[in-house]
Amino acid sequence: MDWEQIKRFVLPLLVFVVVGGIWEFLAAVTGWSSAVFPTPRAAASGMWQLIVDGTLVKHSVASLYRVTVGFYLSVIIALPLGMILGWWKTGQLMFNSMIQFLRPISPLAWIPLALLWFGIGDRPAIFLIFLAAFFPLLVSTINAVNHINSLYFQVAANFNFTRFETLTKIIFPAVLPAVLPALRISLGVAWLVVVAAEMIAVKSGLGYLIIDSRNALRMDYVMDAMIAIGLIGICLDRIIVQLHRIKSVAWGSV
């Protein structure tokens, strides 16, 4: 292993260790009981319990399922819609205000409507996750289309491209370099919203685990669920970052 690789692994690990030390220090110094603010050791033993009885895996799977479906839905809808609206300037004019109006409304605010439209269980949670990921993606895509060099459209006209060909051969490849970072952010937001989305009557999920454990004043489980969310978040991020490495996209780093 060369020095570069060691650095890439050890330096971040060092930061984690220091933060863990600060946590331990705070737990000792603030005088709150371990039931209210658990020490890293209490959290670690709770984590072991959760892993061994399968609870953590069960809940992680549930959250990952909802985020997967919600995120996929938002990509399938936001990307084409964004490309179309970005290209169709009149449409952009018509819908932009509505988009900017809906965008800042927190997914939490949508909970009563989500319950009304989708009942209880996975579907309202997926809806909230979809909402959270949809708007950033839509806005970024529209923005990316707006920044396409108009020369490309002239080239398309020269080649007599149909609308579909322009969309798939000019617009889509042109927006990819900007859309991929947006995908990364959207996925992050979708995973972040999982706690809020699972506040509704679901019986599983890391968000549900946090709320249920908090209601039972099992703060060690709360910390463990938070840690699990963080760790899975890192993995998701690392995976989606791989998309940046695709040669055919890397050309247009903005």
Partner 1 sequence: MGSGTKLLQRVTTGWRILIVALVWLGIITWLHFSFNFEVTNRPILRMGYMPVVANLACPLLDYASEGQQGLRFEALKFSSFAEMGEALRKGDIQAAFIIAPLSVVLHQQGAGVRIVYIGNRHESTLVYRKDLNVKSFADLAGKSIAVPLRYSGHNLCIRRLAEQFGIADANLNIVEINPPDMAAALAVGSLDAYFVGEPFAAKTVLAGESKVLYYVEQVWPDFICNLMIVRKDFIDTNPNHVRLLVQGAARSGLWASKHPKEAAKIASKYWNQPLEIVEYALTQPPDRTVYNRFVPKEDEIRFMADLMVHFKLLTCNDTSGLVYDKFAVEADLKGITDFGSILNPPDAN
Nearest CB to partner 1, comparing residues 77 and 243: 243
- Min CB(109)–partner 1 separation in Å: 14
For tokens 């289309």, name the residue.
145
Nearest CB to partner 1, comparing residues 146 and 253: 253
Let me know: does 144 contact 126? Beta carbons within 8 Å: no
Nearest CB to partner 1, comparing residues 33 and 97: 33
- Min CB(241)–partner 1 separation in Å: 13
Nearest CB to partner 1, comparing residues 148 and 218: 218
- Min CB(59)–partner 1 separation in Å: 8
Nearest CB to partner 1, comparing residues 91 and 233: 233
- What does the angle CA 113 – CA 117 – CA 120 come to, to the nearest 5 degrees? 95
Residue 50 has which token pair?
């959760």
For tokens 């009885």, name the residue.
53
Q: In this structure, which amino acid lies at residue 156?
A: A
Cβ-Cβ contacts under 8 Å for 246 (sequence gap 6 or more): none
Give contact residues for partner 1 (rule: CB under 8 A).
36, 54, 57-58, 61-62, 64-65, 68-69, 72, 112, 115-116, 119-121, 173, 199-201, 203-204, 211-218, 243, 246-248
- Min CB(42)–partner 1 separation in Å: 14
At 205 the three-state DSSP class reads coil
Burial class of residue 171 (count of CB atoms within 10 Å of its CB; 0-12, 13-18, 19+) = buried
- Min CB(163)–partner 1 separation in Å: 20
